């Protein structure tokens, strides 16, 4: 995320999550299908390799 200058707060706003939820998903605290879907969606939307 640093490489692409993407902030967690911006992701939360863009995808309708609370900032803490995004932090938990990205640090691995929150797991499961919904978290995986969020990560895959961000990767696709930002063309992250």
- Tell me the pLDDT tens digit for each residue of 14-45: 999 999 999 999 999 999 999 999 999 999 99
Give pLDDT, residue 43: 92
Q: How far apart are CA 1 and CA 41, in angstroms?
A: 14
Q: Has residue 3 been placed in a domain?
A: no
Measured from the Cβ of residue 46, the count of other Cβ atoms closer than 10 Å reads: 12
b/e 11-44 (16+ beta carbons within 10 angstroms → b): bbeeeebeeebbbebbeeeeeeeebeebeeebee
Give the range of the structural domain holding residue 23, as residue numbers without chain letter: 8-45
Residue 2 belongs to some domain of the structure: no
Instruction: Please choose, from the candidates 8, 41, 16, the residue with its C-alpha nearest in 3D space to the C-alpha of residue 33.
Output: 41
Residue 24 falls inside a structural domain? yes
Number of domains in the chain: 1
pLDDT of residue 4: 79
């Amino acid at each position: 995320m640093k490489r692409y200058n993407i902030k967690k707060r911006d992701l939360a706003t863009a995808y309708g999550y609370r900032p803490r939820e995004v932090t938990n998903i990205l640090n691995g605290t929150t797991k499961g299908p919904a978290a995986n879907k969020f990560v895959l969606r961000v990767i696709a939307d930002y063309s992250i390799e």
